[in-house]
A and B are shown apart, each in its own frame.
Chain A
Amino acid sequence: MTHSLHRKGERIDLAKDYVILAMLSRGINDKHADSRERLKKVGKILSNHHPTNIMQEKLWNVSPVITAAYDDHKNVRNALHKIKSEDLGISIVVSGLIDEVQSLANEFGFELNSIHLSLGTFGRVENLPLDEYLEITTMCGHHCISVQSITHYLEQVKEGKISVERAAEILAQPCVCGIFNTSRAATILNTLFKKKALE
């Protein structure tokens, strides 16, 4: 699906929000004897470069994609460097700031194939929740994170029952793909918490 596209936020916040996706193509390169092993090798590389979230390892055996989220440009850079050196032939898609991904591509000599741009949201936008909530919910590409769960866990933070980091981890649970960036979510929750405290 359009998956990691349409993640909302200001440029400064999006600079701490990257997704790397590795994918086999159905009927083309998914039937070789070592297709799965190659995909899982990419999964291991993603896992070794400090993702804030990653698809559960048990799904690596069945899913045609493996995905991970990052909050640090350096970790994305190092992961891509390793992926390139392994030359596994698996399709890799990076979601992030366009100019930064371009810059990494130029550094490593990638010949970029294609881009999927977001033109944003149309229609009855007046029925959408506040932007800060959307910045959190749109980090799950299948929209499995509810708005009322954000309010609920913010309340728990306010009552001192959990930290914003723990709230972000709980919110991430329905995101099976592991592209919900828990580190960025904690930052947004903290902003929301401070706003609420001032109300």
Chain B
Amino acid sequence: MKINGEKCIGCGNCIIICPVQAISFNEENKAEINRELCVECYVCHRDADCPVKAIRSERLKWPRVIRNPFSSVVATHKLTGIPGRGTEEMKTNDVTNRFKVGEIGISIEIGRPGLGTRLGNVELFTVPLCKLGVEFEERSPVTAIIDNENSLIKKELKDERVLSAIIEFKIPHEMLGKIIELIRKVEKNIDTVFTVGIISRILNNDVNSILELLSQHNLEAAPNAKINLGLGRKTF
């Protein structure tokens, strides 16, 4: 994203709206984008309502171009086919049966809420997870940028800054303790925030079994959650 300094009248609309505070006034009182902080989410371009149309998108080159699908809500990743940086995960589980009874899905969203992250932080999780033998979601944008052998991020992408990157994988129930231990360890070393989500199948409309399992690991889930109602079908 770029701002044409000759056109800018210094209204500050784009400064107010930037989700990662990457835009500020320069010495001439013109809005200027900090290229390092900018995650290419395009929110300023879409919603700042610049009165002189000074904000313009640019043709992003590799590796900077990777910032866009990990930051923009309207960018559709070719692997997932859906807008945004996640996957269908449990949202269509009644149709896909991606998460089966006895399995737990885990989503770790690095950089959320709002602080953003360098893609290099993904390795803090993927490398040890790979050693534990977890199965990463193959259609995830994160899986597309790690190598198959040891789950390292491609070297040229490590310093690219994005709004968030979601690591998605599934494990058998009995492995949860090891994953929580790993999360606690990474938490001490990471320079940003991350959220953790747990996906489980529901049998007989009873969610207590997964809540009890979490409780055994001294974990408490938020009182609100996403629930798939089981109304989807493969064919109509």
Q: Please determine whether A6 and B195 come into contact, CB atoms closer than 8 angstroms.
A: yes
Identify the closest chain A residue to B223 (Cβ).
A11
Interface centre among B86, B207, B222 (most CB of A within 10 A): B222
Q: Mask for A31-68, Cβ within 8 A of B = 1, else 0?
A: 01011001000000000000000000000000111000
Interface centre among B99, B113, B164, B231 (most CB of A within 10 A): B231
- Among A64, A91, A122, A149, the residue within 8 A (CB) of B193 is A122
Q: Which of B30-38, B54-62, B77-85, B144-152 contacts A (4 or more CB under 8 A)?
A: B77-85
- Among B41, B95, B231, the residue within 8 A (CB) of A110 is B231
Q: Please determine whether B192 and A116 come into contact, CB atoms closer than 8 angstroms.
A: no
B163 proximal to A (CB < 8 A): yes
5 contacts between A and B (CB under 8 A): A6-B112, A9-B224, A98-B207, A102-B205, A116-B199
- Tell me the smallest distance from the CB of A40 to a CB of chain B, in Å: 14
- Among A65, A80, A116, A123, the residue within 8 A (CB) of B82 is A65
B230 proximal to A (CB < 8 A): yes
A99–B163 Cα gap in the complex (Å)? 32
Question: Which residues between 79 and 104 of chain B lie within 8 Å of chain A, taking CB atoms?
Answer: 80-96, 99
Q: Please determine whether A124 and B192 come into contact, CB atoms closer than 8 angstroms.
A: yes
Also in contact, A148 and B90, with CB within 8 A (given A63-B83, A80-B229): no
- A positions within 8 Å CB-CB of B: 1-7, 9, 11, 14, 17, 21, 23-26, 28-29, 32, 34-35, 38, 63-65, 80, 83-84, 88-99, 101-102, 105-106, 110-125, 127-129, 134, 137-138, 141-149, 152, 173-174, 176-177
Can you list the 8 inter-chain pairs with the closest CB atoms, starting with the nearest?
A1-B86, A91-B232, A89-B233, A25-B92, A117-B221, A113-B230, A116-B226, A142-B73
For the complex, count residues of B whose C-beta is within 8 A of A.
80
A65–B99 Cα gap in the complex (Å)? 20
Identify the closest chain A residue to B193 (Cβ).
A123
> Tally of A-B residue pairs with Cβ under 8 A?
289
Q: Please determine whether B187 and A114 come into contact, CB atoms closer than 8 angstroms.
A: no
A141–B91 Cα gap in the complex (Å)? 14
A132–B190 Cα gap in the complex (Å)? 25
Q: Please determine whether B228 and A1 come into contact, CB atoms closer than 8 angstroms.
A: no
Q: Please determine whether B96 and A2 come into contact, CB atoms closer than 8 angstroms.
A: no
Q: Please determine whether B224 and A114 come into contact, CB atoms closer than 8 angstroms.
A: no
Given contacts A113-B228, A176-B83, 18 further A-B contacts (CB under 8 A): A2-B195, A9-B224, A25-B96, A35-B236, A88-B231, A90-B231, A91-B92, A93-B91, A112-B228, A119-B198, A122-B193, A127-B115, A134-B113, A144-B41, A146-B21, A152-B16, A176-B73, A176-B74
Point out the residues of chain B lying under 8 angstroms from A176, CB to CB.
73-74, 83
Identify the closest chain A residue to B231 (Cβ).
A92
A111–B84 Cα gap in the complex (Å)? 29
Point out the residues of chain B lying under 8 angstroms from A121, CB to CB.
112-113, 193-195
Point out the residues of chain B lying under 8 angstroms from A110, CB to CB.
205, 229-231
A129–B19 Cα gap in the complex (Å)? 12
Interface centre among A5, A26, A89 (most CB of B within 10 A): A5
Q: Please determine whether B236 and A92 come into contact, CB atoms closer than 8 angstroms.
A: no
Q: Please determine whether B232 and A90 come into contact, CB atoms closer than 8 angstroms.
A: yes
Point out the residues of chain A lying under 8 angstroms from B80, CB to CB.
26
Also in contact, A116 and B223, with CB within 8 A (given A105-B205, A122-B183): no
